[in-house]
Structure 1
């Protein structure tokens, strides 16, 4: 196991604990066990305790999605950006084996505590995909509908893959949605 000496090294480890146990089910003792850090070290990195840890984890997830998904969708050639989104999503969610932490936080009592961050994650993804589709020749209304459908479908596929223990559900869903974004609808 790698020694964790920097705050940024600890954040991904804490993220996995939150993914496995949810916000409420994640205790400081679970975090210390997984990180190998004592409570004093954790409070040094995160003086605000578990709330600050969750905010740091959500910011870490947000940074990755902004860099790897949203920004390319807003700026790159649409076909290239959308292909990058499919690869990135499949890789990030480990082909359906990794739960969406933001989605998990949206489903429990934690949602109210982090509502703005959670809403922004989903809204920016939908808007960024919509913008790429519009630049690719889609009518604005159809692009907005399809972008929402795709993000909804990805999230649903993650839940279904996890609930059924069938990770292939996620791959099949991505393939289906890729086909739905191949060409703009006929006018």
Structure 2
């Protein structure tokens, strides 16, 4: 009788997604090669294809799905948690936004995946993701008794401010732009 033993995975799924996220955030989808993916994950190309049979596109989709789940759990759910004071919900959600973007050092995955062919490949996910941001901040605005119009307006400005401040922080190599934007968002909802 022969027993078949599977070798343990060299890199666990969480570590793999974190590594893939880092490379896509720094180099974008088009700028990331299979060699880059192999180097950052520590896996050979064959192992990457074993885990992601559809290749680089599937890797990027997995990163998007993972980040979408993290954002829903750690930002949207915190922002709209019933029973908690509005000020605490907003403060905690903004802290998580800071963590998501490493204090303004990390690019938004939506931005880096929306360049060149990225919109053809990931456009629907990017649009859906941005709509979820708008929906969560609108819901928060409504929960603090803003009118529907004002809640929508503030949600849109919040999304624009977050995305814009990440770009400007990168361009100026100054994370205080991002940090100050988060403070302004907090003030917007008072």
Q: Structure 1 length normalisation: TM-score?
A: 0.91
- Unaligned runs of 5+ residues in structure 1 are 183-187
- Number of the residue aligned with 2:65: 59
Q: Is it true that 1:81 corresponds to 2:86 in the alignment?
A: no
Give the structure with the higher percent helix: 1
CA distance in 2 between partners of 1:90 and 1:108 (Å): 27
- Number of the residue aligned with 1:7: 13
Comparing 72-81 with 17-26, greater Cα deviation is found at 72-81
- Number of the residue aligned with 2:35: 29
Q: What RMSD, in angstroms, separates the aligned Cα atoms of the two structures?
A: 1.5
Q: Is it true that 1:71 corresponds to 2:77 in the alignment?
A: yes
CA distance in 2 between partners of 1:99 and 1:138 (Å): 31
CA distance in 1 between partners of 2:170 and 2:10 (Å): 30
Q: Secondary structure at the match of 1:120?
A: helix
Counterpart selection for 1:115 from 120, 123, 142:
123
Name which one, 1 or 2, has greater alpha-carbon Rg.
2
- Number of the residue aligned with 2:47: 41
Q: Which runs of 4+ in 1 moved over 2 A?
A: 3-9, 71-81, 106-109
CA distance in 2 between partners of 1:133 and 1:111 (Å): 30
Give 1:4 deviation, angstroms.
4.4
Q: Structure 2 length normalisation: TM-score?
A: 0.89
- Number of the residue aligned with 2:179: 171
CA distance in 1 between partners of 2:175 and 2:139 (Å): 30
CA distance in 2 between partners of 1:176 and 1:75 (Å): 22
Measured against aligned partners, the alpha-carbon deviations of 1:108-149 in whole angstroms (never above 9, x if no partner) come to 320121111101111111111111111111111001100110
Counterpart selection for 2:158 from 124, 130, 150:
150
Counterpart selection for 1:161 from 146, 153, 169:
169
**For this pair of structures, how many residues does the alignment match?**
180
- Unaligned runs of 5+ residues in structure 2 are 1-8
